Amino acid sequence: MQNRALTLCFLCVALLTLFVLNTTGAQSGSNSTCPDIPSIGKAAAGCYYNNPVNRTIRASPPSPPPSPPPSFPPSSTPSTSTNPAHPPTIPPAPVKPPDPFPPEGRKNPKRLQVRIIIAIFALALTLGLGFILFLFWWKRKENKQDVPAFDVSIGDEFGNGLGPREFSFDELSKATKNFADEEKLGEGGFGAVYKGFLRDSNTHVAVKRVSRRSKQGIKEYVSEVKIISQFRHKNLVKLIGWCHERELLLAYEFMPSGSLDFHLFKGRSLIPWKIRYKIVQDLASALLYLHEEGDLCVLHRDIKASNIMLDSAFNAKLGDFGLARLVDHEKGSQTTVLAGTLGYIAPECHRTGKASKDSDVYSFGIVVLEIACGRRSIEPIYDEHQASLVAWVWEAYGNEMLLDVVDKKLSNDFNVKEMEYLLLVGLWCAHPSRSMRPSIRQAIQVLNFEVPPPNLPSKMPAPNYDDISSAPIIRISEPGSLSITIPR
């Protein structure tokens, strides 16, 4: 299709060039004979005779007018006298007008010069347009080769109405008002998210537009389509549909209350304590489903406050599965590529790059502490001993001043027992040593007061990397691939 379009463009350029040559050539030819006649009137006459319609004049030149009869005196008769005093009157010979058409052997230098200039201009125009079209074709070919091809086996649920459906690009473009800036909800490293409205289902959606220049963004798109479409849980953001017709687009259920990080760190609205505790329980429920209740274990690898979405009732749902990987429950899997967000990545991941359930639990613990304290995991504006949230809370715990780290915006309006248990669970999950962290199920049991909280050391221990080699190896099963071609 692209080759046909390029061929058509070249043909149009060639026809345009021929048209310009013929038009200008005819005009220069018709005007080149006139400059040889100095008089304007004669030039007009020459141009008239040069007109093809009037060329019959050249074929049949007008005969000279008849000569008037000899003039004799009225009183005399014609005489054949050869009297030198009265010579006979001889009519003047007809004057031949100048030929407006120069002989074939003579070339008009001005006409030749005009033709050469026009030919050079037309040739330059053709070569220039041809070069531009060639660059356009080469760029499209190069971009097509740069986009990796994926081949993902999409389950039957994609076609039977039980899961996400495929959208056309026009549908999602229309839903977001052609991706208008006023509909933009946010922007990440691999694309922007827009608010949209589907008229056929009368529902609002959040449309993620993956950047076409990001190979990592393409991989994340494949991961989300592959993983989140296979799982359904009340505390996971629902994938409504997908599209890779002209761009990579993902449509999720719209979460009116936005993300957790906005309310904790950016917004002016206060999240009451009961809602905060419920958010922690919702997040733990989602992680339990991913780690233990599915056919395969899912490592999210990017649990953080900005990936926790809130609906209109402030029910929490975990989203953004772009970095997620499928894991075999028994054998496990492994990856050597470090992924995640600074401040939420477990210490052992910085050393080995290996993801595990324990690294997800660590990220969960960081979010728990952020919810309780109302601050980010890393805050450079604080003193050195307060910059790290985990170190700061652990120090307060060792000094038996644990409640001093509670978010001041709560104004002491919280349940003391729930707050203590929540802070202890956060420290337990964010333990520097992987082997000392609980499973998500054990953390839930403490949050539900089914078992007592853990007995943690009063001083924050240093990371123990010796337990990494003895831990079971985890092998990450990379998502399959999706055959896509993205136009640039």
Of 146, 166, 197, which residue is a domain's last? 146
Q: Is 437 left (phi over 0), alpha (psi -120 to 50) or beta?
A: beta
Q: Is the pTM for the entire model greater than 0.85?
A: no
320 is catalytic: no
Residue 214 falls within a domain, yes or no?
yes
Q: What is the number of structural domains in the chain?
A: 3
**Contact predicate 242/225, CB 8 Å:** yes
Residues of each annotated binding site: 208
- What is the per-residue pLDDT for 10? 60
Among 254, 287, 309, where does a domain finish?
254
* 21 pLDDT more than 90: no
Q: Which of 20-24, 127-131, 456-460 has the lowest mean pLDDT?
A: 20-24
Residues 329 and 362 in one domain: yes
Q: Which domain holds residue 356?
A: 258-478
Is residue 283 one of the residues assigned to a domain?
A: yes
pLDDT above 70: percentage of residues in the chain: 65
Residue 89 lies in a domain: no
CATH at residue 159: 3.30.200.20
| Secondary structure letter of residue 292 according to DSSP | I
Same domain, residue pair 358 and 386? yes
Residue 206 · residue 288 · CB < 8 Å: no
Say yes or no: 228 and 331 in one domain.
no
Place of tokens 């985990």: 390
Could you give phi then psi for residue 14, rounded to 5 degrees?
Answer: -65, -45
pLDDT band at 63 (very low <50, low <70, confident <90, very high): low
**Are residues 213 and 231 part of one domain?**
yes
Separation CA 434–CA 362 (nearest Å) = 8
107, with CB counted inside 10 A (0-12, 13-18, 19+), is: exposed
Q: What is the pLDDT of residues 305-363, one digit of tens each?
A: 999 999 999 999 999 888 888 877 664 445 557 778 889 999 998 888 888 999 999 99
Pair of tokens at residue 461? 């221990």
Give the active site residue among 99, 156, 302, 311. 302
User: Which amino acids are annotated as binding site for ATP, given as ranges?
Assistant: 208
Predicted confidence (pLDDT) per residue in 106-165, tens digit? 556 777 777 788 888 778 888 888 888 887 777 665 544 444 444 444 444 454 555 788
In a domain, 84, yes or no: no
309 assigned to some structural domain: yes
Q: Does residue 93 lie within any of the structural domains?
A: no
Tokens representing 69? 């009869």
Could you give the CA distance from residue 371 to residue 373 in angstroms, rounded to a whole number?
6
Handedness of CA 212, 216, 218, 220 (dihedral sign): negative
| Shared domain check, 206 and 112 | no
Q: Which of 146, 171, 197 is the last residue of a domain?
A: 146
